[in-house]
Amino acid sequence: MEQLNGLVESVLATAADQGLWSPGDTLVVAVSGGPDSVTLLHVLHEISLRYQPLRLICAHVNHGFREESREEAEMVRKLAAELAIPFELAEFDIPGFMKESGLGPQEAAREKRYRFLIDTAHRYEAQGVALAHHADDQAETVLMRVLRGSGLAGLSGMKWKRTEKKVELIRPFLRINKTALVEVCREEGYAYAEDASNQLTKYIRNAVRLEVLPFLEKYNGKVKQSLLQLAEIAGAEDEYMEEMALKSYEELVSREPGKSAYDRAEFAALPSALQRRLIKLILNYLSADSSSFDFPKIEAVRRGTLQEHPTTWSLHLGGGLTCSRQYDTIVFSSKPVQQQAGYTYRLSFPFAPVGLTEIGKIITMTVLERESFNVLGEDCTKMSAWFDSDELIFPLTVRSRLPGDTIRVMGLNGSKKVKNIYIDDKIPASQRNLIPLVCDGLGNIVWIPGVRRSMHAAVGRHTTSVLLLSMDSKSGREEP
List, for residues 364-394, the tens digit of each pLDDT value.
888 887 666 654 444 444 788 989 988 998 8
Domain span holding position 270 = 253-333
pLDDT of residue 414: 82
Assess whether pLDDT exceeds 50 at residue 82: yes
Q: In whole angstroms, give the CA distance from residue 359 to residue 361.
A: 6
Q: Identify whether the C-beta of residue 319 lies closer than 8 Å to the C-beta of residue 287.
A: yes
What's the distance, CA 54 to chain centroid? 36
Q: Give every strand in the sheet of 396-399, ordered side by side.
A: 344-347, 396-399, 437-439, 445-448, 452-453
pLDDT of residue 336: 58
Query: Do the annotations mark residue 33 as ligand-binding?
Result: yes
> Does 65 or 52 have the greater pLDDT score?
52
Average pLDDT score, the chain:
88
Report the range of poorest mean pLDDT among 63-77, 314-328, 336-350. 336-350
> Does 24 or 442 have the greater pLDDT score?
24
CA distances from 236 to 155, 156, 230, 240 (A): 11, 8, 10, 6
Q: In whole angstroms, give the CA distance from residue 119 to residue 339.
A: 43
How crowded is residue 189: how many other Cβ atoms within 10 Å of its Cβ? 6
pLDDT of residue 288: 65
Structure confidence by residue, pLDDT tens digits, 425-435: 888 877 888 89
Query: Do the annotations mark residue 260 as ligand-binding?
Result: no
Structure confidence by residue, pLDDT tens digits, 242-287: 999 999 999 999 999 889 999 999 999 999 999 999 999 999 899 8
Q: Beta strand 55-62 with 26-30: parallel, antiparallel or unpaired?
A: parallel
pLDDT over 90 for what percent of the chain? 56
Residue 197 is classified by DSSP as G
Q: Is 408 exposed, middle or buried (0-12, 13-18, 19+ CB in 10 A)?
A: middle
Decide if 18 is inside a domain. yes
- The identity of residue 336, as a single letter, is P
Question: How many residues are given for the chain?
Answer: 480
**pLDDT band of 90, cuts 50, 70, 90:** very high
Sign of CA dihedral 285, 289, 294, 299: negative
Query: Do the annotations mark residue 34 as ligand-binding?
Result: yes
Residues 355 and 420 in one domain: yes
Residues 278 and 419 in one domain: no
Interval 48-67 mean pLDDT: 89
Residues 32 and 164 in one domain: yes
Q: In whole angstroms, give the CA distance from residue 36 to residue 137.
A: 11
Report the range of poorest mean pLDDT among 307-316, 370-379, 394-403. 370-379
333, 357, 376 - which closes a domain: 333
Query: Do the annotations mark residue 415 as ligand-binding?
Result: no
Residues 383 and 437 in one domain: yes
Residues 396 and 430 in one domain: yes
Q: What angle do CA 239, 243, 248 make, to 5 degrees?
A: 145
Assess whether pLDDT exceeds 90 at residue 477: no
DSSP-derived 3-state class of residue 66: coil
- The identity of residue 416, as a single letter, is K
Residues 326 and 350 in one domain: no
Decide if 480 is inside a domain. no
Residues 223 and 313 in one domain: no
